[in-house]
Amino acid sequence: MTTNNTTMSPEEIDRLARKRAGAKLGWYFHAAVYVIVNLFVFAMSQYAFGNRAWSVFPLLGWGLGLALHGVSVWLIGAGGELRERMVQRERDRLQRDQDRRTGP
């Protein structure tokens, strides 16, 4: 939910919940494909083409992408708590600045 002073309508809550759930499902799918593909690449490197450890490089590169995807879903995604707290802090700061400029 948003941390601003307004309440969300049931439609807004539903839209945000669906967006968050879709983002999380997308990450779960990404993680599942990551595991399956990297198990296949590992098996190929161990059993099909000798014992060269070339499977480590795609594992690390894709792992970084998966980690960044997770950060975007759970920490900074639309409607995420961290993002909403930061937006609220900026709103408060801008309101204080505006109040100071206009004065009593």
Per residue in 66-88, pLDDT tens? Answer: 999 999 888 887 767 777 788 88
Q: How confident is the model at residue 51 (pLDDT cuts 50, 70, 90)?
A: low
pTM above 0.75, yes or no: no
Decide which of 104 and 32 is more confident.
32
Give the Cα separation of 100 and 33 in Å (integer).
Answer: 53
Residue tagged 């494909």 (tokens): 33
Q: So what's the pLDDT on residue 27?
A: 94
Long-range contacts of 12-18 (CB under 8 A, 24+ apart): 16/78, 16/79
